[in-house]
Amino acid sequence: MPGRNADRDGHAFYYLVLQGKTGCHSFPLGVRKNPDAVRPHKQPGDLGNYDSGYFTTGAGGVDVSDLPAGRYSVLVSMSAGGALFTKKAGKITLKKTR
């Protein structure tokens, strides 16, 4: 989010959100310091340090096995300073494997 420093791992909380006909499901994401991934996306005129503005599912990914099959919108939300910011990140179809 332009204008909000992300200089430490506790600046915000990130969530992966799957929204479909059966409801909305959120999964916490980890914050990581990753200047090599963040700096190329810094907009002209942005001020401050955004090196920890990177999120990850970690090595294990996200377990969606308990979610109903169906088509979901994928979103990423950031909670910071009492506000919630959400960006669309595509769509995914989950199928039952059992």
pLDDT digits (tens), the chain, 98 positions? 555 666 666 778 889 999 999 899 999 998 877 778 777 777 777 767 777 777 888 778 899 988 999 999 999 988 887 888 888 999 999 998 76
Indicate the residue type of 33: K
pTM: 0.78
Question: Which of these, 72, 75, 76, 69, lies nearest to 96 by C-alpha position?
Answer: 69
Question: Which of these, 78, 70, 79, 75, lies nearest to 89 by C-alpha position?
Answer: 75
The bridge status of strand 83-94 relative to strand 70-80 is antiparallel
Burial zone of 75 (CB within 10 Å; 0-12 exposed, 13-18 middle, 19+ buried)? middle
Euclidean distance between CA atoms 3 and 11, whole angstroms:
13
Tell me which residue has tokens 């915000």: 12
